[in-house]
Chain A
């Protein structure tokens, strides 16, 4: 959002003669154009972040003034078994979500990129879950998963055991991944659909002449061409997975016990249920570092920052 103002096309910026003189030939926008973006970023991102880091060094219940307690929250955080468990569960959900969502959305995206009418109609229907609010779908699924009145009671052949879906750790994690995937696969499908449509048809024509079948074309042309989209989509999943907690709050509320209490949920509960804003800020700071680190790592590892075009040589 900040880059919108900073990256205006240069020919509009170079309307005045002074600017043209300042940057002869190139016509790049001056620093002044970035000011609104930087202000916005500073006010709504950097400042609150600094505030959270400061609060993580205090004890604060929201009523009286924050008391500076130094590293107390952090040493408590490092010795908190619950936080270790929460970090693990966050990781399990993250990996599980990517493992389920990525292959399905790539396949669906490539399939729906075809111009056939039935594919267009089915894609539109498939897109629907994305339009619904997460809160509404989580509440709906909670009702649907009720062992006495929901789907398990009507379809016992599908739901094994005694249909106590949310009452066991494994069941609750499977439910969380299923509901999140159900909602967000359409979004990632959309990304892949757009990218797949941009693959030049000449590549497939050439491959066909060489006798490559459908599967071979997918592995050798489509997938390499989608490389940048895979990175984008995975980054969204990682950052989204580390910060989203609404499904957990409404579907399992961290239960059974604390078996699905992921880090963002712990942060919410510490801050807004037990009113321990200092410790919650420590959790928030940890999440901030984790999310930033994971994204930067992802960008580095995949060579995304080099932004090599997939269309080289065409």
Chain B
């Protein structure tokens, strides 16, 4: 008896462990998604939890007062948002409208025929460059619905004044500044090199490649021509990264530094790093660390030009904006009518007041009501004047390709990959 029992307990413990593993691999989400067959029925709208949910809800409440079909907002935690969408798209719980990042994140859904093509006349209400990432596989499926988030150089004005230098206009200026700040015991650029944050390193590659080769190279890679990585400017960009790391542009311990408060943002806001290449969203984080810093010492410029490069120095990269996408589960009339609200003055003003810079044509006139009009106008002009807005590569490629690519970028920065190895390893991702 004793013998049998203990053996069974051991087996039960093993089976328990196995069951946990097995369910981890097979679990899914269930959620009530309102799908309707009648064109003026109800529509469920999935979004990620963030402070602008109140603006979205206000637009929905106003819409629901007069419309026949009702729109309901589901606010979903940002952790797991993408996988929840992914799971729902294969099931009957598919939302009618959902908030997303455009580009490659939508391409599987377009191929599977889950999305509805939007009316081209909607395009006239938006700036040209941010619309591009809403057009996937030639189909206009993403309507800009949020602020733009370009990536640019943030710098600390008082550190620059103490050193008697100006923000970089060319790449040579940038290399010179690395030496200036290293001598003063300041980290030239804050960067987060831990594995979960290698997207901060990707931003450097994005800009170096854009300035060297122009935006078309990555466009063709994202369009499916993976051999584009063989282009000499990719290798050159990787070599420039190697030189920057060797020159101490990012300090020596960046491999253990995380992004955000307590990491890069704190390094920068407290004057321990002179610059950072980062997206516009970091303004709010910096403000949270020191409102005094953002009010007095925060400077910002576009990424510098590289001599001899083919890319226009006015090009930007980053997250053009977020998008609202309609699925086949949506009650068509209700959803189409609702999409008219995302470029209305009241919706845009609501976003502007929260520090966002929407990409609608009516945004500019409303920016004076932002809490920091100088910063908001800088963002708007940066995007409005840009001949091309390259979407963050990880978003544009989709996670299947982006995850191994980010790993290789991290290895390049860590010195685990030489520039040549980096190129061949990335090429091997899709062979």
Q: How far is the CB of A273 from chain B (nearest CB, A)?
A: 5
- A162 near B18 with CB under 8 A, answer no
Q: Which residues of A contact B266 (CB under 8 A)?
A: 148-149
Query: Within the assembled complex, what's the spacing in Å between the Cα atoms of A239 and B16?
Result: 10
Query: Within the assembled complex, what's the spacing in Å between the Cα atoms of A145 and B257?
Result: 9
Whether B279 is near chain A, meaning CB under 8 Å from some CB there, is no
- B8 near A243 with CB under 8 A, answer no
**Given the contacts A45-B15, A243-B20, A256-B414, A63 and B112 also touching, CB distance less than 8 Å:** yes
Q: Which residues of A contact B25 (CB under 8 A)?
A: 48, 52, 55, 267, 271, 277, 280-281, 284
- B14 near A292 with CB under 8 A, answer yes
- B403 near A269 with CB under 8 A, answer yes
- B8 near A7 with CB under 8 A, answer yes
Which residues between 135 and 193 of chain B lie within 8 Å of chain A, taking CB atoms? 193
**Given the contacts A45-B19, A63-B90, A55 and B26 also touching, CB distance less than 8 Å:** yes
Mask of A34-61 contacts with B, CB within 8 angstroms, 1/0: 0000000100110011011001000001
Query: Within the assembled complex, what's the spacing in Å between the Cα atoms of A273 and B267?
Result: 29
Query: Within the assembled complex, what's the spacing in Å between the Cα atoms of A258 and B409?
Result: 11
Query: Within the assembled complex, what's the spacing in Å between the Cα atoms of A164 and B194?
Result: 10
How many residues of chain A have a CB within 8 Å of chain B?
Answer: 69
**Given the contacts A256-B195, A256-B414, A257-B410, A166 and B256 also touching, CB distance less than 8 Å:** yes
Query: Within the assembled complex, what's the spacing in Å between the Cα atoms of A97 and B8?
Result: 27
Q: Which residues of B contact A171 (CB under 8 A)?
A: 256
Which residues between 19 and 78 of chain B lie within 8 Å of chain A, taking CB atoms? 19-26
Q: How far is the CB of B430 from chain A (nearest CB, A)?
A: 12
- B262 near A64 with CB under 8 A, answer no
Which of A64, A167, A306 touches B193 (beta carbons < 8 Å)?
A167
Which of A51, A62, A240 touches B86 (beta carbons < 8 Å)?
A62
- B114 near A255 with CB under 8 A, answer no
Q: How far is the CB of A94 from chain B (nearest CB, A)?
A: 14
Whether B310 is near chain A, meaning CB under 8 Å from some CB there, is no
- A52 near B26 with CB under 8 A, answer yes
Q: Which residues of A contact B5 (CB under 8 A)?
A: 3, 7
Q: Which residues of B contact A163 (CB under 8 A)?
A: 253, 256
> Majority SS of interface residues in chain A?
helix
Whether A95 is near chain B, meaning CB under 8 Å from some CB there, is no
Query: Within the assembled complex, what's the spacing in Å between the Cα atoms of A273 and B399?
Result: 6
Mask of A20-44 contacts with B, CB within 8 angstroms, 1/0: 0000000000000000000001001
Mask of B263-282 contacts with A, CB within 8 angstroms, 1/0: 10011000010000000000
Q: Which residues of A contact B12 (CB under 8 A)?
A: 1-3, 41
Chain A's closest residue to B14 (CB) is A295
**Given the contacts A45-B15, A148-B257, A258 and B22 also touching, CB distance less than 8 Å:** no
Beyond known contacts A44-B23, A45-B19, A48-B25: 11 more, CB 8 A cutoff: A3-B5, A41-B12, A45-B18, A167-B253, A167-B255, A239-B13, A255-B194, A258-B407, A259-B416, A299-B10, A304-B10
Chain A to chain B contacts (Cβ below 8 Å), 27 pairs: A63-B86, A63-B89, A148-B257, A148-B266, A148-B272, A149-B262, A167-B193, A167-B254, A167-B256, A243-B17, A252-B195, A253-B195, A254-B407, A255-B407, A256-B195, A256-B414, A257-B411, A276-B400, A280-B25, A288-B21, A292-B14, A299-B10, A304-B10, A305-B6, A306-B3, A307-B3, A307-B7
